[in-house]
A and B are shown apart, each in its own frame.
Chain A
Amino acid sequence: ANELNEQIDQELRLFLTAIDEYQTLSAELNGYCKSGCFDIARARKAMSCEGRTVSQLQYPAAFTARVGVDLDTDLESAMTVKDLTRAEEAKKDEEDDSTSKSVDPIKWFGVLVPQHLRNSQRTFSRGLEAAVGAANAYHKIKRHYDHYSSLMEKKRSQNE
């Protein structure tokens, strides 16, 4: 019974730690989004003097993702941010499909872009890391809560 109680306490601690981790990463993500949008607005203002802008009209007709997530289903959906361009370069050697070549998205907005736009790119990249971290924390929350629930059910059945 003591061992079961210890297990329950341990799962509860891990559950609460995961909630704290999620809330911290969520707050970081929020900060990066706000800061990134502010830099985009500043870049747009700087570029407007030259008749340029930052909008979806600059998006190319077709492009491939340069960054994704490595989803490890064996580790209960643990995720890490992954650079997809290396796999694409290996594929380029096998087939020549120029319409799906990935280009740094900052080049969509011109050759010389304001520093604010580069800052925004960096900020949103950090935001992406925070988002994936928050997703992992959410998975931990669910996992530990499910373990905690099953241990509590076991304790209840033992007490009956």
Chain B
Amino acid sequence: ADALVCVIGDEDTVTGFLLAGIGEVDLKKNSNFLVVTPKTTTTQVEDAFKAFTNREDVAVVLITQTVADSIRYLLDEYQAMVPTVLEIPSKDNPYDASKDSVMQRILKKMSVEK
């Protein structure tokens, strides 16, 4: 089945992935991306994350780590395999591999089952 890739992040990262062709905006202004600026509220980011991860036509959600940090509790609660949520580096901040939510989820699972 055909599915989309969503992206939540700074303008340049989102623009980059839109250049790659993943972006979509329909006539009702529903989109599969969110450009996060200093004016974007945490609620808007939360709403976008929840909307993208609840869509049945989405396979992957890319989110920059800086934005992911602002809604870390939502990512920690998220357990579904599809859409797969992947963290990517922000334009202005170095990527911290120790915060990678995928690896954190695996390590947590392993420590619980010990």
Q: What is the CB-to-nearest-CB distance from A116 to chain B, in angstroms, rounded to a whole number?
A: 12
Q: Are the C-beta atoms of A68 and B14 separated by less than 8 Å?
A: no
Bound Cα distance A142, B4 (Å): 22
Residues of B within 8 A of A4 (CB): none
Contact of A67 among B12, B22, B25 (CB under 8 A): B22
Q: Are the C-beta atoms of A127 and B20 separated by less than 8 Å?
A: yes
Residues of A within 8 A of B26 (CB): 62, 100
Bound Cα distance A82, B59 (Å): 12
Q: Are the C-beta atoms of A40 and B12 separated by less than 8 Å?
A: yes
Q: Are the C-beta atoms of B86 and A131 separated by less than 8 Å?
A: yes
Q: Are the C-beta atoms of A105 and B81 separated by less than 8 Å?
A: no
What is the number of contacts between chain A and chain B, taking CB atoms within 8 Å? 153
Q: Are the C-beta atoms of A145 and B22 separated by less than 8 Å?
A: no
Q: Are the C-beta atoms of A29 and B86 separated by less than 8 Å?
A: yes
Q: Are the C-beta atoms of B14 and A56 separated by less than 8 Å?
A: yes
Does B77 interact with chain A (Cβ within 8 Å)? no
Q: What is the CB-to-nearest-CB distance from B13 to chain A, in angstroms, rounded to a whole number?
A: 6
Bound Cα distance A82, B2 (Å): 8
A interface residues, tally (CB under 8 Å): 59
- Known interface pairs A70-B2, A87-B2, A145-B109; A128-B13 also in contact (CB < 8 Å): no
- Known interface pairs A29-B88, A69-B59; A145-B15 also in contact (CB < 8 Å): no
- Known interface pairs A135-B59, A142-B81; A33-B106 also in contact (CB < 8 Å): no
Contact of A65 among B12, B21, B82, B100 (CB under 8 A): B21
Residues of B within 8 A of A121 (CB): 16, 19-20
Q: Are the C-beta atoms of B60 and A79 separated by less than 8 Å?
A: yes
- Known interface pairs A68-B22, A84-B2, A105-B23; A132-B60 also in contact (CB < 8 Å): yes
Q: Are the C-beta atoms of A128 and B4 separated by less than 8 Å?
A: no
Does B102 interact with chain A (Cβ within 8 Å)? yes
Binding site for A on B (CB under 8 A): 1-5, 11-27, 32, 35, 59-60, 62, 81-82, 84, 86, 88-89, 91, 95, 97, 100, 102-103, 106, 109-110, 113
The 10 closest A-B pairs by CB, nearest first: A66-B21, A67-B21, A135-B84, A124-B16, A69-B59, A121-B19, A65-B24, A124-B20, A36-B16, A125-B20
